[in-house]
Amino acid sequence: MNDKKIIGITGYSGSGKTTLLTKVIALLVEQGFKVATLKHAHHDIEFDIPGKDSYKLRKAGSLQTIVACNNRYALIHETPDKSVNIQTLINHFSDVDIILVEGFKDETIPKI
C-alpha cells in the first residue's frame, strides 16, 4: 500500500478492539515509537459543536476546516460526493513510526 508500517485490528462491535489498541499503543509509546491511529465509524460523526465558529463555517459550505490551538489541531474534510479511501486517510499522517487501524475490515492491509 505504501512505505508506512500499518496494522489493522478488526472484529465485531463490542469485541474489545479499542481496549486492545489502547494497551498496544501504550506499550509502543513506552518503547519510544511514534504511533498514529485511524478508526472507522459506521455512522455520521460530528466533531465540532453546533453554535461554535468551526461548525458555522463547515455548515456554510467549507469543504475543509482546520481547528487549531497550541496543543493540537483537527482537520474536518467534507466528502459529500464520494467516500474517502483508506490510502487518502493514511497519507494525512506524518512523522510516525506505525499506524494502527481500527476497522476497515475489507481493506487490503495487514490485520489481526
In 3-state terms, what secondary structure has residue 30?
A: helix
Q: What are the start-end ranges of the E strands in 1-112? A: 5-9, 35-39, 64-68, 73-77, 98-102
**What is Dmax (Cα atoms) for the chain?**
44
pLDDT in tens, 57-84: 988 989 888 888 899 988 888 888 888 8
Which CATH architecture best describes the domain 5-102?
Answer: 3-Layer(aba) Sandwich (3.40)
CB of 21 closer than 8 Å to CB of 9: yes
pLDDT in tens, 1-51: 456 799 999 999 889 999 999 999 999 999 999 999 999 887 677 777 888
Can you give the pLDDT at residue 35? 96
> Domains of the chain: which residue ranges?
5-102
CB of 18 closer than 8 Å to CB of 26: no
